Amino acid sequence: MSVLVNKNTRLLVQGITGKAGSFHAQQCLEYGTNVVAGVTPGRGGQKFLDRVPIFNTVREAVEQTGANASMVFVPPAFAADSLLEAIDAGVPLLVCITEGIPVRDMLLVKERLATSSIRLIGPNCPGIITPGECKIGIMPGYIHRPGKVGIVSRSGTLTYEAVWQITKRGLGQSTCIGIGGDPVNGTSHLDAVRLLNEDPLTEAIIMIGEIGGAAEEEAAAYIKAEVRKPVAGFIAGATAPPGRRMGHAGAIVSGSSGSAGAKIAAMREAGIAVAPTPSDIADTLLSRYHP
């Protein structure tokens, strides 16, 4: 059993016919993900790569294929509506890659999610992967290796750094959850750490964060109280100037809150080993985790 996704996950791709959607749907298929359907309104009846049926609506895709997860590649102006459509169709797991969704739209999606058991990862995220079993997202598969280190991160490429360091040391990842760079998201650091903590196959956890908000502090408090597995972390943005959004919509130091220093202090307080540079993430974990 792995965290949220595995060999049996049946994935539908919303926006499968778009440029990014088609490229990554194919990459996921090649990785071995069980992509069972695509959804693009108006293209129902067609096939993606001559093998994956495309439907006009999520509801129809779920009825016809039993899809139980969705990867969303819909442009920002329409992405929230696509998420609401998937929630309405009862898809249990949503992974929203789209960057640029208005905050207001996500506030309403989150409110809708609060009264359901559906899990949303993202938006503005690279996705989730259980190496060797299921990849839902845009991460390069080849850097991953099945193993026991769970990773949660707001970033995409910074996560790949950590993953590659772990892989090169002969270890592997249980599940990597990219929660994304937006200020309003479906799964927080705390949510992801809890999942990894409760996963019997995960023996150690890496938590990667960045400036903005207090999600890392919230997770650190949980880790201090509940997590006995070794945890290492890294916080990006110590050199970011205050008041500027550093790429990610959620990466901003506002007044006295959201600084890298505050997060690092909270993490150390919680017994998390914090890497001094992004190159030291695996070594920092291995100072606490002896597999």
Partner 1 sequence: MNIHEYQAKQLFRDHGVSVARGAVARTPAEIDAALAQLPEGKIVVKSQIHAGGRGKGKFTDGFAGGVKIAASAAQAKEYALRMLGNTLVTHQTGPAGRKVQTIFFTEATDIAKEYYLAVLLDRATSQPVIIASTEGGMDIEHVAEHMPDKILRRHVDPALGLRAFQGREIGFRLGLGEDQIKQFGRLLEGVYKLFWDKDCAMVEINPLIVTPAGQVEALDAKVSFDDNALFRHPDIQALRDLNEEDSKEIEASKFNLNYIALDGNIACLVNGAGLAMATMDIIQYFGGTPANFLDVGGGATEEQVTSAFRIILSDPAVKGILVNIFGGIMKCDIIARGVIAAARNTKLQVPLVVRLEGTNVELGREILAQSGLALTTADSLSDAAQKIVAALKA
Would you tell me which residues interact with partner 1 (CB under 8 A)? 19-20, 23-24, 76-77, 100-104, 106-108, 110-111, 126, 138-140, 143, 153-161, 164, 181, 183-184, 208, 210-215, 218, 234, 236-241, 244-251, 255-256, 276-280
**Cβ closest to partner 1, residue 61 vs residue 215:** 215
Rounded to 10°, the helix 215-226/260-269 angle is 0
Q: Tell the smallest beta-carbon distance from residue 265 to partner 1 (Å).
A: 16
CB-based contacts of 28, cutoff 8 Å, min separation 6: 11, 13, 35, 71, 135, 136, 137
Q: Which of 24, 189, 248, 290 is catalytic?
A: 248
Query: Scanning the structure block, which residue is given the tokens 């895709």?
Result: 61
Listed in sequence order, the residues at least 6 apart from 250 whose beta carbon sits closer than 8 Å to its beta carbon are 154, 181, 182, 183, 185, 210, 212, 213
Cα separation of 227 and 125, whole Å?
Answer: 25
| Dist CA 206 CA 273 (whole Å) | 9
Our answer to whether residue 290 is catalytic in this structure is no
Q: Which residue number, 84 or 201, has a Cβ lying nearer to partner 1? A: 84
**Rounded Cα gap, residues 75 and 40, in angstroms:** 12
Cα gap 124→101, rounded to integer Å: 8
Give the shortest CB-216-to-partner 1 separation in angstroms.
Answer: 12
The residue type of 257 is: S
Nearer to partner 1, 75 or 92 (CB): 75
Q: State the CB neighbour count (10 A cutoff) for residue 49.
A: 12
Instruction: Please identify, using beta-carbon distances, which residue of 133 and 216 lies nearer to partner 1.
Output: 216
CB of 64 to partner 1, least distance (A): 29
- Cα(53)–Cα(158) distance, integer angstroms: 34
Toward partner 1, which CB reaches closer, 130 or 185?
Answer: 185
Catalytic residue ranges: 248
